[in-house]
Amino acid sequence: DDSPYRGEIIFYQPRSETPFVVRCLAEETPEIPATCIRQVGVGHGLTMFYRFNWRMLGDWRSMDDRLVRLVNQFFRSP
């Protein structure tokens, strides 16, 4: 299999107002925990990538909201 996603599981929610796509490692090893990576547009011409434990997958909306708010705080005028 020559896929660049070999060894990963792709989760997605295509019919959402805010489409959800995340890539998760298919297996956990002692060296590499089973993590997921998510890409989110945060405005200001920026895209944020964040990695999290796959056990937190059900909390993706909350993570997105909190992390986008945190990143946007860096762009507020004093």
| Burial of residue 29 (number of CB atoms within 10 Å: 0-12, 13-18, 19+) | exposed
**Mean confidence (pLDDT) of the chain:** 86
**Is a pLDDT exceeding 70 seen at residue 4?**
yes
**Is a pLDDT exceeding 90 seen at residue 77?**
no
The share of the chain scoring above pLDDT 70, in percent, equals: 96
The C-alpha atoms of residue 26 and residue 1 are separated, in whole angstroms, by 15
First to last CA, the chain: 52
CB neighbourhood size of 40 (10 A): 19
The C-alpha atoms of residue 77 and residue 74 are separated, in whole angstroms, by 9
Q: pTM value?
A: 0.76
